[in-house]
Amino acid sequence: MPVPPSVVLLIETSNEYARGLLRVSWHTFASVPKNGASIRGNATVAKPDGTDAVLVIVEIALTIGGPRRSKQLNDIQEFSMKTACFMPVFCLLLSASGAGDEIRYAKPQLLMEPEELARPAVAPHYVILDARKREAFETEHIPGARWVDHDAWRAEFEDGKDPAAWSRRIGDLGISSDSQVVVYDEGKDTYGARIWWTLRYWGLEHVRLLNGGWHRWQLLALPTNSEAAAAVPAAEFRVTARNQRLATLDQVLDSLKENGWQIVDARTEAEHCGIDLLENQRGGAIPHAKNLEWTAMFDPETKQLKEAAEIKRLLNAAGIDLDRPTASHCQSGGRGAVMAFALELMGAEHVRNYYRGWSEWGNLETTPIMVPPASQ
């Protein structure tokens, strides 16, 4: 089905006088192939003080030919109404043929598309964290980005110890409890996911990953900055540990006794099957763990998260149930954070990261281990 040149949103309200049509020009989506689409539009209204106008803010999520892209309209459309009251607005759903059966991310708000972040009206509302190596950041970065020391955060987490230090560490980046944050790394990397997970653990609600990271940003030739980053004033951030996001050794052991949590191993098959021990004393897997390597979540060319339908297929093939309480793990938290992110993106509600992972489990004599056969 060809995409129409424009989309008309009918704004329905409870007041007979407050009805209008808002026409959205299709040029907003000019970068997307025009081969059929499903469109979900959400409209909200607000009345500016002292005016007779109602502001209608429209957000459209667009799915075309499988891949999903979310964009926000560049403009806030304003039109006059005969009433100055607030009006309830219903969500509009327009679908192309066959789009109703599409699988979509359950929590798309966890992702930020580079094209959206590049918009001048969007970027100022976010604290942008660059989790790459410092040398890479100083050479070139996204305008307005602040460097976060991934290696220090990795070393200092210590199963959620020293909350006072974490309050200072996060606050020193200019992050307060109501900040909205976007994190990026090179793309198809674990650094951004670790920072995302750590911020979420310490109680920050609004944290996103940049889809495709720096790699995708460069592919799209979006603006960059090579100047030294300006110092930012520290903010007050009081951490609130979200212990339901963390799994500890004792908890995993107890879960095995009760057949409780689903364990998802995000390491390579060679690590899972005890072939590659890295520097651990023992190799293998936690009993009953499902293995799905973290790299399977990404498109190898764009470094973006794969489409929801493909991620769902991979989860099903690995026997991973989104409805079960889950603990992901890897060697030391980073790959497990990627898996935790992907599971939440797909709708899982109870996901923990066994942060110490195999660096702890594989170096104890008392932990049970299974050695699954490797695939041919």
Compute the CA torsion angle 35, 40, 46, 51 (nearest 10 deg).
30
Whole-structure pTM value: 0.76
16: left (phi over 0), alpha (psi -120 to 50) or beta: alpha
Give the pLDDT confidence score for residue 346 in this predicted structure: 98
Give the pLDDT confidence score for residue 60 in this predicted structure: 39
Give the pLDDT confidence score for residue 364 in this predicted structure: 98
Give the pLDDT confidence score for residue 92 in this predicted structure: 33
Give the pLDDT confidence score for residue 259 in this predicted structure: 83
Residues 6+ away with beta carbon under 8 Å from 198:
153, 157
- What are the pLDDT tens digits along the chain (376 aa)? 333 333 333 333 333 323 333 333 322 333 333 333 333 344 343 434 443 344 444 443 333 333 333 333 333 333 323 222 333 333 333 333 334 468 999 999 999 999 999 999 999 999 999 999 999 999 999 999 999 999 999 999 988 889 999 999 999 999 999 999 999 999 988 999 999 999 999 999 999 999 999 999 999 999 999 999 889 999 999 999 999 999 999 999 999 998 899 999 999 999 999 999 999 999 999 999 999 999 999 999 999 999 999 999 999 999 999 999 999 999 999 999 999 999 999 999 999 999 999 999 999 999 999 999 999 7
15: left (phi over 0), alpha (psi -120 to 50) or beta: beta
Give the pLDDT confidence score for residue 101 in this predicted structure: 61
Copy the structure tokens of residue 366: 């008392």
Is the separation of the CB atoms in 112 and 137 below 8 Å? no
Domains defined for the chain, CATH in brackets: 6-101 (no CATH), 110-241 (3.40.250.10), 244-361 (3.40.250.10)
Give the pLDDT confidence score for residue 102 in this predicted structure: 82
Give the pLDDT confidence score for residue 96 in this predicted structure: 33
Give the pLDDT confidence score for residue 36 in this predicted structure: 35
